[in-house]
Chains A and B, each alone.
Chain A
Amino acid sequence: MLEIFVGAKFKFMEHRRFAYFVSGSLILISILSLAIHEGPRESIDFTGGTVLYLDLSPQVPVGEVRAAAQKAGLGGVQVQMSEDGSQAILHFGKNETSGDAFQNFEKELDQSHPNVQLTLLSQDTVGPKVGSELEEKATLAILWSLVLILIYIAWRFTRFSFGLGAVIALFHDILITLGLFSILNREISLTVVAAFLTIGGYSINDTIVVFDRIRENMGLIRRMSFAEVINKSVNQTLSRTVLTAGTTLLAVIALFFLGGPVIHDFALAMLCGVVVGTYSSIFVASALALDISNWWTRRKQARSAGASAKTAAAR
């Protein structure tokens, strides 16, 4: 049979410092990027405004499209054109919420280029009220998601170090994906938020499989240290983790390249989320569980050492 990672004996726990370093750097870069751009770039779903996606035939030079667009809408407009100049994306700011942007643009373009055939591919207009409502909904969705997942983890993993490790890994995954979007200057739209929530579910999913195996192997703790148990468990689940990531990635890659512009950003988020999520499940979550557990044990020992020292002194 074709097999990968059989009898794998990678020393994950021994090298966890390296993983921390990598993760730390990625997180730092993400935070820096977010700080520089003053937060994630929000699409009109949250800021309000109008986006027109148009087809022009024959092509019109971008400068002239921009000129017509500026006359058509209120406030500034950003114009993006496809490489062959046949499609344009007009992005009006939050002042243009009348819904008439396309009609006005059509009129303006008709005046300067009467022989150009203009087709509306799609129009999205979000008024200010709806924009803030959608923002609220997205925030609520994220919060509820987190709360429910936390409750679930707390119920499933009675060891505090496991739960905390899983949660930190989750935040780690989402933060890095957010950072990627910030660096690439991609917009966060409702669909992208949906992708983030799905990544959240997937990441915890992955981590749970590893932790399940660790728990199963805890019986061996008599013969091995905690670190060795974790190592063994991660190695045992390695093939499954990589395989699942593999098939999911195959599907997401198909979406990324073939799914069309509407799903493109969604697929990007999923791509990053799956890769980082798998990495964190293997290298980060269990490493954290180990370190948190050790820290906790040390604390308990220190306390009881202090207590027994006191009682000894008291006698």
Chain B
Amino acid sequence: MSNLRWKWALLVVVLGVFGWYLVPTIRYYSMPPDVRASNAPRVDKIREGAMKLGLDLQGGSYLVYEVDLAKIPKAQRRGDEVDRAIEIIRNRIDQFGVSEPVIQKQGQDRIVVQLPGLTDPERAKELVGKTARLEFRLVKTKQEFYQALAAMDQAVARWQKLGGAAADSTLLAAADSAAADSAAADTAGASTNPFTRLLTQPQNPDVGYAYVPAQNYDKAYAMWKAVAYDSTKEEPRVLAGNTVLLWGDRQFGAGTENPGRYIYALSGRPDLTGDQVADAKVAFGLEPARPNAPGVSLTLDKRGAAIFTRLTGNNVGRQLAIILDNTVKSAPVIQDKIRGGRASITGLQGDNEAKDLGIVLRAGALPTDLNLQEERTVGPSLGKDSIREGLQASLVGLILVVLFTVLYYRVSGIIAVMALLINLFFIVATLSMLRGTLTLPGIAGVVLTIGMAVDANVLILERVREELRNGKTVRGAIEAGYGRAFITILDSNLTTLISSVVLFQFGTGPIKGFAITLMIGIIANIFTAVFVTRLVYDSFMAGRTVKKLSI
């Protein structure tokens, strides 16, 4: 008798312990969504102890990037590119404001970024992957511009002769060296200025840039890309006179009669880079022409400020181009020597662009490109739908199985159902205890467990029925039934357990979730079927002679 009491006590203790771990999950998910999302310390604490929802249920993005180390020549690699990239991404995400992001290194050169609860996954991706190379380069004088154009023409002519496909730096080198014998040699048949022809001189003739009208743009761009730009290094090539050619932002000229793009001749090497930016803030009123347009106000560090002061001091009257990712965002004229190291980026498209740019500049430029290898993004509405559908399926599955079990096994069926419910309790409590993640396949695993859990009970109950048919007493039938069924229960659940362990080992996120719920479900199943239901029967029969069994 005391044996039974101990067993009941054990059961209560076990249920209590698991129940204790279940509390945070219940509390967390019964909070209204806006409270749940907040960062209040009270909420944080509860969230920590609760079961997590997978990205396929909360909505969010799972991104795998490969750090393109190939782009950095071996000699320049420092070995910490991946770690630096992780830090920079983390910085950017922190500023963007995502709750509980996960940013991890994977293997030698991959970064896994998990961003739960995103409403604008595209923006977040932009933010993470932006290289954000900021440069300041002086705009060249008209003469220098023409020199560069001459070199371009030569190189383009050569390129066209070669069929217009192959593109590398030899074209330019040949152009440079052949600068002397320009006109005579290359005019055979082809036009003399294949590139310059496409340009239109701006109204102010004394500047180092020109305008390419829309109808010429595709051609000019193709020429430029082939000859004056290194696609692998993502840098412009240096032309004669230490000049590079870069395009202005597409929106210049938009809305006018002749939309096109500006092309600038700039210093061959950047005069200042984003490394020297100490702070970047969104500010308004930076553009007199568009007072409501947002811009980014930059504060340079000490070294940058010094360079900037010297640069502006020596070049009053000239234009200083502000370049983002090889596109000229603006090229204001230097009015005066600027002390104090402040500059601003204008010509941005909207609040989001300014905000994101600020974030990216504050966090720093990535050491190299990030190439997206894998993306799984689930929008918030699909996430909610999935939760609803998953819960519906679980509920309906549960009701069907319960109905059937009770109908077929009657009171014994009710005991089996009770065991099943304890099973479910264990699954959710264990997930909560382990701070595990529930995914949509995980919910499927729970539903499967509901279906398969009854099996253990069926094995026992069928045996008991058999023993009863063979004429054993109720007590004897139960003992024999449980005894013989036990090994079979273990056996039959073991193979499914093997499958779920393999799935856990090799599976990715959502599938791991499935494997976990299946494993927990199976183990809980064995426990409840063998220990708990037996306890109920034993207690019922204790001190009584039971003649009939409702089974």
| B and A form one assembly | yes
Residues in chain A within 8 A of chain B (CB atoms): 1-3, 6, 53, 55, 97-99, 102-103, 119-127, 129-130, 134, 137-138, 140-141, 144-145, 148-149, 152, 156, 190-191, 194, 197-198, 200-202, 204-206, 208-209, 212, 216, 236, 239-240, 243-244, 246-255, 257-260, 262-263, 266-267, 270
- Complex contact B379–A122 (CB within 8 A): yes
Closest A-B pairs by Cβ, 3 of them? A251-B451, A201-B499, A254-B397
Residues in chain B within 8 A of chain A (CB atoms): 56, 64, 66, 121-122, 125, 371-379, 381-382, 385-386, 389-390, 392-394, 396-397, 400-401, 404-405, 407-410, 440-441, 443-444, 447-448, 450-452, 454-455, 458-459, 462, 465-466, 469, 484, 487-488, 491-500, 502-503, 505-508, 510-511, 514-515, 518, 551
In the bound complex, how far is the Cα of B447 from the Cα of A145, in angstroms?
Answer: 22
List, in ascending order, chain A residues with CB within 8 A of B372's CB.
97-99, 125, 127
- Complex contact A254–B447 (CB within 8 A): yes
Q: Which residue of the partner chain B has the closest CB to A239?
A: B462
Other contacts beyond A145-B498, A205-B493: 15, CB < 8 A: A55-B381, A122-B376, A122-B382, A123-B121, A123-B377, A141-B506, A145-B499, A148-B502, A191-B441, A206-B492, A247-B455, A251-B447, A251-B448, A258-B389, A263-B390
List, in ascending order, chain B residues with CB within 8 A of A102's CB.
122
Given contacts A120-B121, A205-B493, A208-B491, contact A240 B462 (CB under 8 A): yes
Given contacts A123-B375, A205-B492, contact A144 B502 (CB under 8 A): yes
List, in ascending order, chain B residues with CB within 8 A of A270's CB.
448
Given contacts A190-B507, A258-B393, contact A251 B56 (CB under 8 A): no
Contacts across chains A and B counted by CB atoms under 8 Å = 220
Q: Which of A6, A125, A216, A240 is most buried by chain B, counting CB atoms within 10 A of its CB?
A: A240
Q: Which residue of the partner chain B has the closest CB to A120?
A: B379
List, in ascending order, chain A residues with CB within 8 A of B407's CB.
2
- Complex contact B488–A209 (CB within 8 A): yes
- Complex contact B499–A99 (CB within 8 A): no
Q: Which residue of the partner chain B has the closest CB to A236?
A: B466
In the bound complex, how far is the Cα of B506 from the Cα of A137, in angstroms?
Answer: 6
In the bound complex, how far is the Cα of B401 from the Cα of A127, in angstroms?
Answer: 42
In the bound complex, how far is the Cα of B499 from the Cα of A251, in angstroms?
Answer: 19
List, in ascending order, chain B residues with CB within 8 A of A2's CB.
407-408, 410
Q: Which residue of the partner chain B has the closest CB to A251?
A: B451
List, in ascending order, chain B residues with CB within 8 A of A249's CB.
451
- Complex contact B392–A251 (CB within 8 A): no
List, in ascending order, chain B residues with CB within 8 A of A121's CB.
378-379, 381-382
- Complex contact B502–A130 (CB within 8 A): no
In the bound complex, how far is the Cα of B24 from the Cα of A192, in angstroms?
Answer: 33
Distance in Å from the Cβ of A91 to the closest Cβ of chain B? 15
Given contacts A122-B379, A126-B374, A194-B507, contact A250 B404 (CB under 8 A): yes
- Complex contact B507–A248 (CB within 8 A): no
List, in ascending order, chain A residues with CB within 8 A of B458's CB.
240, 243-244, 247
- Complex contact A259–B444 (CB within 8 A): yes
List, in ascending order, chain B residues with CB within 8 A of A254's CB.
393-394, 396-397, 400, 447
In the bound complex, how far is the Cα of B372 from the Cα of A201, in angstroms?
Answer: 36
